[in-house]
Amino acid sequence: MNRGMNMQVSVPSLTKGVKWLVIICVAVWFVAQVLLEMFFKIPFSSWFNLVPAQVLFEYKIWQLFTYQFLHSPTQISHIVFNLLMLWFLGSELEQKWGTRRFIRFYLVNGVAAAIIYVFGMALYAAMTGAQVGLIVPVVGASGALFAVMVAYGFVFGERMIYFFMLFPMKAKYFVGLLAFIQVASLITSTVAGGEVAYLAHLGGLISGFVYLKAFEVIERRNLEKRTKRKTGNLRLVVNNDKQDSKDPKYWN
């Protein structure tokens, strides 16, 4: 007997936080990078993309934050795939966590991935003398998105997803495979990674993992403190006056 297998693909709704991130990224890309930069020759990207040398030696610290809202002005696939990933993975996390926690996670890990990238490039330059990694600009939301992938693997680890739309695997294994691919790509590519900043991707994976583990520890400690406060106010009262009182009573 043949049984047909129906594969249903559910598309998550566009949640509030994800929607605003998408709007900001599209507005920055089209208005600032396409119109102002490409047509009016205003060097917008050079002010706000991530250049490790400028962060380290010119103290353009804002680049650690602003780079994640910029994308390639000539390769539309860059912003399209990034925002689709943000929609599909981020919306479910936002529904689970709430908007405030999701936005905080996204932005903090975008900055953390940039910090890892900058110091990684500085370390490589110090060890090898090669300066190219310090001067190549980086743009894109991939650092934050790889952290979102880690969180998705944590929260929905048992969910089946389709790698390349063909091969089913659990989400937690998919995240592990992505981490392996980024490490292998970083090792086998040049320090600047060609057109892909693999170290920034890996930085997002690392920062996302550390963030989630730290959050677990903080939540556990807060729970223990709340439990101690509650149980600390409990006292055992035994009614010895009534002979039929067999069980002690707890009072708060």
pLDDT tops 60 at residue 250: no
What pLDDT is recorded for position 4?
Answer: 37
Better-predicted residue by pLDDT, 181 or 92? 92
Lowest mean pLDDT among 62-66, 99-103, 175-179: 175-179
pLDDT tops 70 at residue 197: yes
pLDDT tops 50 at residue 1: no
Q: Which CATH superfamily is domain 16-229 in?
A: Rhomboid-like (1.20.1540.10)
Share of the chain above pLDDT 90, in %: 58
Is the Cβ–Cβ distance between 33 and 73 less than 8 Å? yes
Closest CA to 104 of 137, 62, 151, 67: 151
How many CA atoms are closer than 13 Å to the CA of 158, on its beta-carbon side?
0
Is the Cβ–Cβ distance between 105 and 99 less than 8 Å? no
Q: Rounded mean pLDDT of the chain?
A: 85
pLDDT band at 210 (very low <50, low <70, confident <90, very high): very high
Better-predicted residue by pLDDT, 150 or 130? 150
What pLDDT is recorded for position 223?
Answer: 85
pLDDT in tens, 212-235: 999 999 988 888 888 877 766 655
Closest CA to 77 of 223, 195, 224, 185: 195
What pLDDT is recorded for position 3?
Answer: 42
pLDDT in tens, 152-176: 999 998 888 776 667 788 888 888 8
Residues 6+ apart with CB under 8 A from 225: none
pLDDT in tens, 12-64: 789 999 999 999 999 999 999 999 999 999 999 999 999 999 999 999 999 99
What pLDDT is recorded for position 86?
Answer: 95
In the chain, where are the structural domains located? 16-229
Q: Rounded to the nearest 5°, which phi and psi values hold at 205?
A: -60, -45
Better-predicted residue by pLDDT, 5 or 110? 110
Lowest mean pLDDT among 178-182, 190-194, 224-228: 190-194
pLDDT band at 8 (very low <50, low <70, confident <90, very high): very low
